[in-house]
Every structure is written in C-alpha cells, then in structure tokens.
Amino acid sequence: MTVSAGGQGRDPGLQHERTALARHRTVLAASGGTLLAAVAAARSGRPVVAVVSALFALVLAAAALVVHRSPRERWTPWAVLVLAAGTVVGLAALGVAGAMVSILGSAP
Amino acid sequence: MTTTSGASADRDPRRPRSVYGVGTEPDPRFSLANERTALAWVRTGLALVAGGVALTSLATLADLSVVLHLIAAVACVAGAAVAVSALRGWRRTERSLRLGEAMPAPTALPVLVAGVVLISLLLAAHAVVSARR
C-alpha cells in the first residue's frame, strides 16, 4: 500500500495524523517544561530568567499549534526535532546553572 | 551505495544534506514512524530535565542538601544527552532507511539507562546517608 505525501486521511493506519499529534504533544511538552523552569526561576528570585522563559514558553505553545497544522514540507522532521531537542538542551543548561548557583551560594 | 542522480539530489531542498543527499525515498510510513520514535525520545529526555529542574528548585525552596543540587544537575545533563542522541538516532535511522541498510542499534537507550541508574544510585546513597545522620 502506498501513501502519498499529501494523502492525509488516506492511510488507514493514520500515520500522518499520529505523527502530527506526536509533534504537537512534544512541542507542547517542551512549552510546559519551559513554563516549569520559569516558575522555578521566579521562586528562586531570578525575575529576568523567569520572564524570558515564560515568553519562550508562549512562543513554543504557539509553535505547537503551527507545527500541528503545517504541511510536512514547511516543518520538516529535522526542524521539529531540532526545535524540541534544542529546548530540552537549553532547559538542561538552565537547570545545571541554577543548581551550580545554589551550590556556590550555600558554600561558606 | 545507491545515490540518486546529481540533478534530483540538488532539487531536494530538505535538510540535513547528510540524510536527504543519499539513497532513495523510503515508504513514507517508515519515515513517519522514525520521526515519532525520535520525538518520543525527546520527550523522555525532557522528563529527565524537568525532574532535575523540579529537584533543584525544591532543594532551593526547602533549603535541602547540596548533594540534591548535584543529583539534579546529573539528571539535567542525562536528559540533554538523551535529547541529543535522539537527533543522532533519527539521522542514522533515516539514512539506513534511504540506503536500504540494516537498522542501526539504538543510541539513546544506553544513555537513558546509564542516566537513570546513576540518578537512582545517587539518590539512594543520599537517602541512606541522611537517614544515618
């Protein structure tokens, strides 16, 4: 059985829909993770980091909708993966930086 | 290896070139499944990073041990490593799909297992030490 590139709704396995939903929930999860980092930064007394993170979380939430609706030619797999994985790496850097600041701050 | 003619390879604007510059177009369902797998790996890495961020902010708010900050940093680094190996794994699998080669071994799985085992051991050691104190 062949599936045409633009043949959404043709494939009984719903591969295109499942992939679009996987993209949607991945970018949305990245948005949620960024929001968590924003709240953590606000509670730790780092307002600039908190505001920047919250704005980026909004951008990602919007991107989740755009990615979900865009044709695959517009948002290629690589672009979506780099966006999501790049956000994860950025959040990890933020988390490590926060942990290091806390460790150095608590040192005598 | 089989590569498409120069003209058709030039016309394909998709990135990365190391993937779309080789081989022939596979069954779209395989490409879609490969993308979903990579996205699931990215979400797994995100879960580790989110756990690390949550742990370090909890340790800050509750004024807990410095060791917990170190464990949180380990979780963040492991999550980032899983996300990066998800990208590498997608590229390698897509290449092998296009070239009709055997599937490469999973790269993200050893990273994930190593990270989770390390975090668990550190947390268990920290729990034992703080219980004895």
pLDDT score for A12 = 84
Tell me if B39 and A84 make a contact (CB, 8 A cut-off).
yes
A76 touches chain B (CB under 8 A): yes
- Supply A65's token pair: 């909708």
Q: Which residue of A has its CA nearest to B25?
A: A5
C-alpha A103/C-alpha A101 separation (Å) is 5
Q: Which residue of B has its CA nearest to A74?
A: B14
Tell me if B56 and A19 make a contact (CB, 8 A cut-off).
no
Tell me if A99 and B69 make a contact (CB, 8 A cut-off).
yes
- pLDDT (tens digit, 9 = 90+) per residue, B112-128? 999 999 999 999 999 99
Residue B1: is its pLDDT beyond 90? no
Categorise residue A45: left if φ over 0, alpha if ψ from -120 to 50, beta otherwise: left
- pLDDT (tens digit, 9 = 90+) per residue, B4-49? 444 444 567 888 989 999 999 999 999 999 999 999 999 999 999 9
Short-list B103, B101, B91, CA closest to B41: B91
- pLDDT (tens digit, 9 = 90+) per residue, B90-116? 999 999 999 999 999 988 999 999 999
Instruction: Tell me the average pLDDT across A45-50.
Output: 93
Stated pTM of the model: 0.89
pLDDT score for A2 = 45
**Residue with structure tokens 């045409």?**
A4
Distance in Å from the first CA to the final CA of chain A: 68
**Secondary structure in 3-state letters for chain B:** CCECCHHHHHHCCCCCHHHHCCECCCCHHHHHHHHHHHHHHHHHHHHHHHHHHHHHHHHHHCCCCHHHHHHHHHHHHHHHHHHHHHHHHHHHHHHHHHHCCCCCCCCHHHHHHHHHHHHHHHHHHHHHHHHHC
**Residue B113 backbone dihedrals phi, psi, to 5 degrees:** -60, -45
**Secondary structure in 3-state letters for A3-25:** CCCCCCCCCCCCHHHHHHHHHHH
Q: Best residue in B27, B31, B56 to probe A by mutation, most A CBs within 10 Å?
A: B56
Instruction: Tell me the average pLDDT across A9-24.
Output: 87
- Which of B33, B49, B75 has its CB closest to that of A33? B49
Chain A residues whose beta carbon lies within 8 Å of the beta carbon of residue B45 = 85, 88
Q: Which residue of B has its CA nearest to A95?
A: B53
- Per-residue pLDDT band for A58 (boundaries 50, 70, 90) equals very high
A28 touches chain B (CB under 8 A): no
pLDDT score for A32 = 97
pLDDT score for B109 = 94
Chain A residues whose beta carbon lies within 8 Å of the beta carbon of residue B56 = 40, 95, 98-99, 102
ipTM associated with this complex: 0.89
Residue A8: is its pLDDT beyond 50? no
> Do residues B94 and B19 make contact, with C-beta atoms less than 8 angstroms apart?
yes
pLDDT score for B70 = 96
C-alpha B68/C-alpha B52 separation (Å) is 9
Answer with the residue of higher pLDDT: A31 or A5. A31
Instruction: Tell me the average pLDDT across A3-12.
Output: 56
